[in-house]
Amino acid sequence: PAEHSPSLAGISRVPAEHSPSLCILADSREMCSGPEVLSCLRAVHGLRVQVCSLGTSDYIVSNRLAVDRVLQSELQSPGNRNKLSQRLQRLQGVFERICVIVETDRVRPGETSRCFQRTQYYDGVLSALVQAGIRILFSSSQEESAALLKDLALLEHRKDAAIQVPTEPQGHQRDILNFYLSIPNLSYAAALNLCHSFSSITAVANSSVPALAAGARLSRPQAEELHRFLHHDFDLQLLPQPLPAKGK
Amino acid sequence: PVTAGSIVVPYGHVIGNEKWRGSEVAQRLQGKVRLIFEDGLGLVDFHLSNRTCILLISEADLVAGDEFKRRLVKFRNASSLRGIVIVEKTKISDQYYVGVQKFVVLELGMVLLPVANQGEASQLIVQLVSFCVVREQSRDRGANPFLGKRRAAAAEPALLRAAQRVPGVGKTKALLLLQHFGTIHRLCNASVQQLERVVGQTGAQQIYSF
């Protein structure tokens, strides 16, 4: 009983031969922490949800927007401050736009509804997010979070930033995607775009900054960073010693 | 009428709309920030700085209908200030919140923060002043834990990791290749013969076809 919201009907005007519906990338951890978000996105809103190991953010909604789901209680406790700020700082290196969905904690069965005590610390965190230009949305449940993700995806689609490429590369393409994913500060969406827009890694390596920006749907500074990486001269002396253990 | 334009806020002060004089928010702000009341602020309730201001939407505004939407749109069209909308989200106005958020954040692109009452609003305003004004003007940007410090990490470890994603290439071969070719760009453009000199025939073919 996929009940498509009426607003999704307008999408067909875009000549997208691959994606009949909007696409969202979800981090694999969300299968445990937000199962209802994922099922709502699929069943209620009719979105294509691709679960993959994003590492950086919980969701990637478009070529430039990452969304993190944070529980209200996490914003309340100063103990989480470092973890949260490191995570968001990393996101800022990778994405043009970041949004945080602050979700009310679920009341477990048998637990009386805890009264939310607003602390000065909590207000400080919100203020810092506002100042950092991070968009904040509030949600009272996983279902509501799913609706917000859909709204964001729709908005990004209207601004022509939606993810329009196939999200499940096979075989050789898979290896190439893994290569792109190892490039620092390159998002999963940008790596997918590189796979799709360029015939080979060599083609990417030989591309100019504007061509990279167009092909990977990156902003100019991000494309410059990618270009620098591809042309960076390796210097053995700069490798931290001892060599970091690989793949653990 | 729509004085959403520039207003000079002295450092460390908050300028409040005359209509809030004597209200709970104002009383609680007093003592924590230097609050000055001014007539004719128009749409804005509080100015935190020359750039940032606050529009307060009460529970009653929400229940009353769409008037507050007209006010926000007018503000958005008339001013280049950064407007932070604080909305009273109570048991009664809770049902409207989803719609309001969609309108304010997604359609207007403004900041929206919910509070439960005027007391919470004043507490939030104090924090906003501290972050958006004091730290902004003292250029102490490092104080914000969420503003990325752009420091360039050495690319070498990342290059090594990237080279190891090529099938058949482990740490040893990756190091050899990078030492020999220097950049990913040159490695990509190397011929089979050039690769053979570094990693041998099978490896070279594998890398070349990748």
**What ipTM was estimated for this complex?**
0.85
Whether residue A16 is predicted with pLDDT greater than 50 in this model: the reply is no
| B146, B169, B191, B195: best to mutate for the A interface, most A CBs within 10 A | B146
Burial of A169 (0-12, 13-18, 19+ CB in 10 A): middle
Whether residue B177 is predicted with pLDDT greater than 80 in this model: the reply is yes
* Shortest Cα–Cα distance, B103 to chain A (Å): 11
Whether residue A33 is predicted with pLDDT greater than 70 in this model: the reply is yes
- pLDDT score for A169: 80
Chain B residues in contact with A132 by the CB 8 A cut-off are 144, 146-147
Residues of chain A with pLDDT > 70, as a percent, come to 85
Calculate the average pLDDT of chain B.
Answer: 84
**pLDDT tens digits, residue range B37-47?**
988 778 889 99
> Are B133 and B83 in a shared domain?
yes
The pTM of the full predicted model, rounded to 2 decimals, is: 0.85
Residues B134, B145: Cα–Cα separation, whole Å: 15
A156 and A24 Cβ atoms separated by less than 8 Å: no
* CB atoms A183 and B158 under 8 Å: yes
Q: What chain B residue is nearest to A239 in terms of C-alpha separation? A: B156
* Shortest Cα–Cα distance, A62 to chain B (Å): 15
B9-38: average pLDDT: 87
- pLDDT score for A111: 63
CATH number at residue B93: 3.40.50.10130
* Tokens linked to B185: 């760009």
* CB atoms B131 and A131 under 8 Å: yes
- Contacts A–B by Cβ distance under 8 A: 156
Residue that is last in its domain, among B84, B102, B137 = B137
Whether residue A103 is predicted with pLDDT greater than 60 in this model: the reply is yes
Distance of CA B138 to the CA centre of its chain: 19
* Shortest Cα–Cα distance, B40 to chain A (Å): 27
| pLDDT bracket for residue B89 (50, 70, 90) | very high
- pLDDT score for A248: 38
> Are B40 and B111 in a shared domain?
yes
> Are B63 and B96 in a shared domain?
yes
Residues B210, A73: Cα–Cα separation, whole Å: 47
Could you give the number of structural domains in chain B? 2
> Are B117 and B160 in a shared domain?
no
**pLDDT tens digits, residue range A116-152?**
678 889 999 999 999 888 999 999 999 999 999 999 9
Q: What chain A residue is nearest to B103 in terms of C-alpha separation? A: A151
Residue B210, amino acid: F
* CB atoms B136 and A239 under 8 Å: no
> Are B94 and B187 in a shared domain?
no
CATH number at residue B180: 1.10.150.20
> Are B118 and B196 in a shared domain?
no
Q: Which of A11-15, A31-35, A95-99, B181-185 has the lowest mean pLDDT?
A: A11-15
Whether residue A241 is predicted with pLDDT greater than 70 in this model: the reply is no
**pLDDT tens digits, residue range B137-162?**
555 555 677 775 555 566 788 888 88
- pLDDT score for A173: 86
> Are B205 and B130 in a shared domain?
no
> Are B78 and B168 in a shared domain?
no
| pLDDT bracket for residue B99 (50, 70, 90) | very high
Q: Tell me which residue range forms the domain holding B196.
A: 155-209
Residues of chain B with pLDDT > 70, as a percent, come to 88
